[in-house]
Amino acid sequence: MVLVEISVVPLGTSDTSLSRFVAQAIKVLENSELDYEITPMGTVIEGDLDRVLKICREMHESVFSNPEIKRVLTTIKIDDRRDKKGTMESKVESVEKKLTLNSR
């Protein structure tokens, strides 16, 4: 299982707000049945590498369905740990545990 952070940003739009394009890409992800979490700066997806990469491409392509969009910048970060299963939740819990230990 991998964790992937993706950010899909259309360039050259007529408005500085991008949330409508983000929502368009997230709709693709909603139909995938993959676990994900939306953050202020991107979306984290959890799942099989091949499935996640396929969905990332679909999210990227979805923004081009708007005729206004001629260019899209998509950033993808992949955390592929193979010695043990990692999840979004377990990574956050690990940091929170260390914060609790350090605050004593």
Domain borders along the chain are 2-102
Q: What is the pLDDT of residues 58-95, one digit of tens each?
A: 999 999 999 989 999 999 999 999 998 889 998 888 89
Q: Can you read off the two tokens belonging to residue 42?
A: 């991107």
Q: Dihedral of the CA atoms 23, 24, 26, 30 (nearest 10)?
A: 120
- This prediction has a pTM of 0.88
E-only strand ranges, the chain = 2-11, 35-39, 42-47, 71-79
Per-residue model confidence (pLDDT) at position 15? 86
3.30.70.930, 3.90.1170.50, 3.40.50.300, 3.40.50.1820: CATH of 2-102: 3.30.70.930
Asked whether 66 and 21 are in contact (CB, 8 A), the reply is: yes
